[in-house]
Structure 1
Amino acid sequence: MKDFCNWLDGQSKLVKVILCIWILDIVWAIYRIGGAIANKNWFHLILAILWVAMSCTVGWILDVVSILLTNHIFWFKE
């Protein structure tokens, strides 16, 4: 899972924004859940699971804005 997270972190800003689009945002949900599991952070895991429900409404918009401003999704840097 770390390889997947590192692969996503290494992508260009354009690819990251494309993966934030409404339906494709599931990729970032997997990234969040996988990162939380890899780091054994249960609090982040619970938040990541809750994020899946929110990503279909405003979560993907927060991700797009965050990537454009900081080149990282709207999430904790670990």
Structure 2
Amino acid sequence: MKEKSTATLFAIFLGSLGIHRFYLNDVGMGVLYLLTGGLCGIGAIIDIVRLVLMTEEEFNYRYNRPPKY
């Protein structure tokens, strides 16, 4: 189960490398962040703000749902 606090810390300290995107199973964006330095840092800053402002319920709905079969 993914935790909001872990994703936020990854975004703050390793956001320009896209580690938080890999943690949240968004591999495509993780690779893009890795190759572009977090879209020159702007994408990482946006993700940090988005994660900080996101409620725990919204985070769980978005990233901790069971997979669709």
TM-score (normalizing by structure 1): 0.45
The normalised TM-score by structure 2 is 0.49
